[in-house]
Amino acid sequence: MLDRAIKCALWMKKQGATKGDIIALSTHNHLDSFIPYIAGLFIGATINPWNHEMNTSLARHFMGLTRPKIIFANEESAGIIMEAAKIELFHPKVVVFGNYLGTIPFSAVLQGHSESEVANFECTNIANIKETSTILFSSGTTGLPKGVQLSHEVIVSCLENLESFRFKSVIPLWFSSLYWISGTMLSLKSISGQTKRIIAPQFDPQTVCEVVEKYKVTWLMLSTSMANRFVRYNGLHNYDLSSLSLLLVGGATLKQESQDALNEHLPHTTVLQAYGMTELGGLVAAQTLDSTSGSCGVVIPNSEIKIIDPDTGKILGANQNGELCAKTPTVMNGYYKNPEATREILDADGWLHSGDLAYYNEKGEVFIIDRLKEIIKYRGHQITPTEIENLLQAHPAVLEVAVVSIPHPTDDEHPIAFVSKVPHKEVSAEELILRVENNLLDVYKLRGGVKFLPKLPHTHSGKISRKDLKAMANSMAVK
């Protein structure tokens, strides 16, 4: 990896890439996917991972925002990138892992460098550790993804924090690409920890089981959506998963029902969930061995959390619902070319306003209730979609569920549930509507109904795309 990274860095310098230039990466995980990242750090460039499953519109957004000098791409996304560049009248150098007409093959990047060039290569000095090293994109759950600027200090902090993940003594598996902060940081950790890493194909529950059994994986990270699908896979009992000592879940709140089910199906495995944001540079809270199921655990060392009244800014006490605000030593430098959005989320005292409705209990455990912007208003009453989702998710035939609002001419909004079913299991809309009616207050009734989908839409970072579901609900609204 070192040899290839140096050769890649030499090639980039020969193309005129230098300190501060932006280098984009648009690829799935494979043996060479992280080489340009390391090479970019070597020359002091700013690395900008893209989602390789993007469409032309999203590629244009990425391209228009960061204007990268060089783009490294897999064959799958090369065509989208070339099309977006043509529309944008932008001409970056495009390097492809493989071959694609009109691009430079990655194999050519590694050729033509003398032994002395490689042997005498020196990394570019970074004078200010607080300078931006990486631009990662936000989840984009409520709008187009924003560029989150993370400093070299965040990278150093990640590398120094190996013991918190016990990464020197594990065989890890994750499915996050470099587009996710987890994919980027875990790749750094595995290299600096000299850890054998398993690179798996695209996620599906059977693949997880096969890879864990074959390679005796001990450390697994799944997004919340992946964890929900994994625990509902009816073939779990067909595999020997006893090597798996830790399963870490993150990305969105894992419901208590799902965490309990994972603990039941994986008796040899410690299942922990954590809470973090790309804007925070990683985690701010994580469960410990004795944490309450369904919580996000307690604040991690060197970080702070407070819960405030979203209207007054007043700091709230235990068991009081409000907006979660956090401070970490790895907080972002701000959104790239978006000072207004930066001011909206980062206040003058350095607190990042998460937009999450949350509370903490007497033990200091944090519980996420919902996104503040996703609260549904019905005749003046506030409905938290998560309460309905928790109830529906507990049904054995429900694979994934998301509750959003559907506009109503007299009642403000009605809750509507979008549901995907567990394969080979059945449940009717009437059954789910009745389940809510019989277990929750009248205001929580699914007055918007239940809509079954073969698969719920997801954002490029793996979260359920409420934006797409809201658009669907709006199109169904009574005019």
Return the pLDDT at 479.
Answer: 60
Q: Which has more confidence, 229 or 462?
A: 229
Give yes or no for residue 167 having a pLDDT over 90: no
Compute the mean pLDDT over every residue in the chain, rounded to the nearest whole number: 92
Lowest average pLDDT, out of 288-292, 329-333, 467-471, goes to 467-471
CATH ID of 377-476, from 1.10.1040.50, 3.30.300.30, 3.30.450.20, 2.40.170.20? 3.30.300.30
Tokens in use for 396? 């054995």
pLDDT band at 400 (very low <50, low <70, confident <90, very high): very high
Give yes or no for residue 22 having a pLDDT over 70: yes
Strand order across the beta sheet in which 282-286 lies: 172-174, 219-223, 246-250, 270-277, 282-286, 298-299
Pairing state of beta strands 219-223 and 246-250? parallel
Return the pLDDT at 48.
Answer: 98
Kindly report, residue by residue over 101-119, the tens digit of the pLDDT: 999 999 999 999 999 999 9
Return the pLDDT at 154.
Answer: 93
Distance, CA of 414 to CA of 85 (rounded, Å): 42
Domains 1-125 and 162-268 in one fold: yes
H or E segment to which residue 101 belongs:
none
Rounded to two decimals, what is the model's pTM? 0.85
Query: What is the domain partition of the chain in residue ranges?
Result: 1-125, 162-268, 377-476
What is the pLDDT averaged over residues 246-270?
91
Return the pLDDT at 409.
Answer: 79
Counting DSSP H helices and E strands in the chain, the numbers are 15, 23
Give yes or no for residue 141 having a pLDDT over 70: no
- Residue 362: exposed, middle, or buried by beta-carbon count in 10 A (0-12, 13-18, 19+)? exposed
Domain 1-125 falls under CATH 3.40.50.980: yes
- Candidates 223, 178, 179, 175; CA nearest to 197 is 175
Return the pLDDT at 473.
Answer: 93
Give yes or no for residue 273 having a pLDDT over 90: yes
- Candidates 108, 106, 99, 110; CA nearest to 4 is 110
Return the pLDDT at 116.
Answer: 97
Question: Which residues, at least 6 apart from 13, have a Cβ–Cβ distance to it below 8 Å?
Answer: 43
Tokens in use for 195? 């850890």
Return the pLDDT at 295.
Answer: 95
Long-range contacts of 289-292 (CB under 8 A, 24+ apart): 291/365, 292/361, 292/363, 292/365
Locus of tokens 């449940």: 427
Q: Which has more confidence, 225 or 445?
A: 445
pLDDT band at 477 (very low <50, low <70, confident <90, very high): confident
Return the pLDDT at 412.
Answer: 84
* Under 8 Å between Cβ of 31 and 42: no
DSSP per-residue string spanning 315-360: BP-TT--EEEEEE-TT--SEETT-HHHHHHHB-TTS-EEEEEEEEE
Return the pLDDT at 449.
Answer: 96
Query: Domain 162-268 belongs to what topology?
Result: Rossmann fold (3.40.50)
